[in-house]
């Protein structure tokens, strides 16, 4: 592999004032072809998923490294790009934070999703670049604290190189997809990314706490929810990742210990640190508030949902449904191998579970097709899986 160590045009200065932004916007407007776009966040360091650096590159325009902290409105860039195609890797990760600063694509080409459809065994950016372009990218900065200012030069080099390869990677993947007869599949997938819009807020996000399954009673769950909410409010106010305010393990340990007073809470290992000693009243008050909830306000053991139960319970609750799911999975695995596409990209596993748990009536192709479309399946997915799923729902 040929290591990519420096941008071919040299490292551009970071764009951090409106004059520089307008100049680069005009350069983008004068450029041609797709626009490579990437964003760096400070996940694990800051609260939320806002962008702390935006990288762009277009033929004839060069690379732009934009600091969205002093420039929170990038509508000038949006206007310059117009309806040109954006090239991103794992677009779903970056589009929400880009939309917050005024950048929304009219068309996209997602190189990670394209690599999945093309059947590549590894779809991370570095792996795909090595496989198709023969270059090795620097590693080690993707999980850095990109809210750091000033940004180290080696981080900026890493960021610039990410967009330098994207358009060439797009062209290589497009050629593979065309050769495999999957261009239309990719087009529908990319349109679905745009149509999906921003992700909906997660229901009961406190249930994602690591270790929550070790809590047995609804009273404990109420205490966990209360201390989670106290942590979240504090993290939001300080703009710090919640796990840096108080680890998940500490919250679960506090709930399990059920301290009778602040002193007892301070006896737990994590709470002995200087920062948490100062906040002990904050944490103990939250625990006490959760513990004092009336019975009818305590959270249920599992969040209410409209989907089927966990698959490991199907055999006991509905053996016929378990048979249908097993048949569907076996045939879908064959399709995956035949077309060199991961099963989860052929059709959503959740949608398969829903259809096999509660088959549409009557159990025929037309109603199965309707259920697939209602569940968000693209037309190429409907066409590929319709016979398989129609057969599966009629197994029992």
Domain architecture of the chain: domains with CATH: 2-196 (3.30.420.10), 205-292 (1.10.150.80), 311-394 (1.10.150.80)
Chain mean pLDDT for the chain: 95
pLDDT confidence band for 302 (50 / 70 / 90): confident
| Interval 90-142: pLDDT, tens | 999 999 999 999 999 999 999 999 999 999 999 999 999 999 999 999 877 87
Is the pLDDT confidence value at 304 over 80?
Answer: no
Dihedrals phi, psi of 350, to nearest 5 degrees: -65, -40
- Using CA atoms, how far apart are residues 12 and 21, in angstroms rounded to an integer? 13
What percentage of the chain exceeds 70 in pLDDT? 99
The average pLDDT across 229-252 equals: 97
- Mean pLDDT for the stretch of residues 39-67: 97
pLDDT digits 0-9 by tens, 149-194: 999 999 999 999 999 999 999 999 999 999 999 999 999 999 999 9
Q: How many CB atoms lie within 10 A of CB 324?
A: 26
Confidence grade of residue 197 (pLDDT, cut at 50, 70, 90): confident
The kind and range of the H/E element at 32 are strand 32-41
Rounded to 10°, the helix 379-393/365-374 angle is: 130
The stretch 279-308 carries a mean pLDDT of 92
- Give the total residue count for the chain: 396
Q: What is the pLDDT of residue 139?
A: 75
Residues 6+ away with beta carbon under 8 Å from 43 = 49, 143, 241
Return the pLDDT at 349.
97
Contact between 377 and 389 (Cβ < 8 Å):
no
The share of the chain scoring above pLDDT 90, in percent, equals 91
pTM of the model: 0.92
Q: What is the pLDDT of residue 273?
A: 84
Our measurement of the distance from residue 47's CA atom to the centroid of its chain's CA atoms, rounded to an integer in Å, reads: 16
Split at pLDDT 50, 70, 90, the class of 396 is confident
């Amino acid at each position: 592999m040929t290591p990519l160590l420096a941008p071919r045009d040299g490292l551009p200065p970071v764009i951090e004032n409106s004059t520089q932004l307008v100049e680069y916007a005009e350069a983008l407007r004068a450029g041609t072809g797709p626009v490579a776009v990437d964003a760096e966040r400070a996940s694990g360091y800051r609260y939320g998923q806002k962008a702390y650096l935006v990288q762009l590159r277009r033929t004839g325009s060069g690379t732009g490294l934009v600091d969205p902290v002093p420039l929170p409105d990038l509508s000038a860039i949006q206007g310059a790009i117009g309806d040109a195609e954006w090239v991103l890797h794992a677009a779903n990760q970056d589009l929400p934070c880009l939309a917050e600063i005024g950048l929304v694509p009219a068309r996209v080409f997602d190189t990670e999703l394209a690599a999945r459809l093309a059947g590549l065994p590894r779809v991370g950016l570095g792996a795909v670049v090595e496989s198709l372009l023969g270059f090795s990218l620097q590693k080690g900065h993707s999980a850095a604290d990109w809210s750091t200012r000033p940004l180290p030069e080696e981080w900026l080099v890493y960021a610039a190189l990410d967009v330098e390869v994207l358009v060439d990677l797009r062209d290589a993947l497009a050629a593979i997809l065309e050769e495999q007869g999957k261009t239309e599949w990719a087009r529908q997938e990319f349109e679905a990314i745009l149509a999906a819009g921003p992700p909906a807020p997660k229901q009961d996000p406190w249930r994602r706490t690591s270790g929550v399954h070790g809590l047995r009673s609804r009273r404990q769950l109420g205490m966990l929810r209360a201390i989670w909410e106290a942590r979240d409010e504090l993290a939001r106010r300080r703009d710090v990742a919640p796990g840096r305010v108080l680890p998940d393990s500490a919250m679960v340990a506090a709930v399990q210990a059920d301290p009778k007073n602040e002193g007892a809470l301070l006896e737990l290992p994590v709470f002995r640190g200087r920062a948490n000693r100062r906040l002990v009243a904050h944490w103990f008050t939250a625990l006490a508030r959760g513990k004092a909830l009336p019975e009818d306000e305590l959270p249920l053991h599992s969040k209410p949902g409209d989907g089927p139960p966990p698959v490991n319970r199907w055999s006991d609750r509905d053996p016929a449904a378990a048979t249908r799911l097993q048949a569907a999975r076996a045939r879908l695995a064959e399709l995956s191998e035949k077309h060199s596409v991961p099963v989860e990209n052929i059709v959503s596993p959740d949608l398969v579970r829903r259809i096999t748990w509660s088959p549409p009536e009557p159990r025929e192709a037309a109603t199965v097709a309707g259920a697939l479309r209602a569940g968000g399946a693209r037309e190429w997915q409907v066409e590929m899986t319709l016979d398989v799923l129609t057969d599966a729902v009629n197994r029992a």
